[in-house]
Amino acid sequence: MQLMTRPADAPPPLLRAAHVRRPHGVHGELRVEPLGGDAARFEVGLRLRVEAGERVLVVSGARPAGDGDVLLRLEGVTSREAADVLRDAYLCVEADDARSLGADEWFVHALVGLRAVTPEGVSVGVVEDVEAYPANEVLVVRDGDRVRRVPMVRAFVERVDVAAGVIVVRPWEEE
């Protein structure tokens, strides 16, 4: 498998903002899982594009649903049937409309393709993916046929330098 990398200054055209779990109620509300950050970003007027297609939807309301989910109302989605069409879809924002990132936050597309090295500069591999786990994200680092998973926490990730294309990690030997 050859990993195709994208320059750090070239974000993908769309960034996933939410995963539609299911319809909620009979008036077209959607129960969604926010992806990557603060659920407060789902403000009225936010334009979301359905990842599989060209459909653009505008947020007309949002409220917490508990357990981290959000209940979204979207213009033009006014029935359970219309909402059900969106089940399991990803709702995305244009890269230019992405939320601002805080310190020690990165978009996945900026991490994929970074060279992973130890603090001594020894190559560990290339970041192939970032997986979400309940406690924290985990870097998937590939070196040939070997794949390591490195928790995205300070104990294992010393430094991220997107501009230089490097992430400094402290891996451990796996048995």
- Cα-based distances in Å from 3 to 9, 107, 166: 18, 18, 16
Choices 1.25.40.10, 2.40.30.10, 3.30.365.10, 2.40.30.60: CATH for 14-97: 2.40.30.60
- pTM of the entire structure? 0.65
- CATH for the stretch 108-169: 2.30.30.240
Highest-pLDDT range among 6-20, 26-40, 93-107: 26-40
Q: Give the DSSP H or E segment for 117.
A: strand 115-117
**Mean of the per-residue pLDDT values of the chain:** 85
Tokens of 150: 């490195």
Domains 14-97 and 108-169 share a fold: no
Residue 78 binned pLDDT confidence (cut-offs 50, 70, 90): very high
How far is Cα 76 from Cα 57, in angstroms, rounded to an integer? Answer: 8
Domain ranges of the chain: 14-97, 108-169
Cα–Cα–Cα angle for 149, 152, 112, rounded to 5 degrees: 70
Dihedral angle over CA of 109, 113, 115, 118, nearest 10: 50
pLDDT tens-digit map of 114-159 = 999 999 999 999 999 888 777 888 999 999 999 999 998 999 999 9
